[in-house]
Amino acid sequence: QVQLVESGGGLVQAGGSLRLSCVASGSIVSINVMGWYRQAPGEQRELVASISGGSTNYADSVKGRFTISMDNAKNTVYLQMNSLKPEDTAVYYCNADLVVRVVVTHRITANYWGQGTQVTVSS
The predicted pLDDT at position 105 comes to: 84
Contacts of 96 (CB under 8 A, 6+ apart): 2, 4, 22, 24, 31, 33, 34, 35, 77, 111, 112
φ, ψ of residue 80 to 5 degrees: the values are -90, 120
Segment (H or E) for 65: none
pLDDT at 54: 83
Is 1 a residue whose pLDDT tops 90? Answer: no
Q: Across all residues in the chain, what is the average pLDDT? A: 96
Band (67; pLDDT cuts 50, 70, 90): very high
pLDDT digits (tens, 9 = 90+) for 76-122: 999 999 999 999 999 999 999 999 998 888 999 999 999 999 999 99
- Tell whether the model's pLDDT for residue 59 goes beyond 90: yes
Q: What is the rounded average pLDDT of the residues 44-54? A: 96
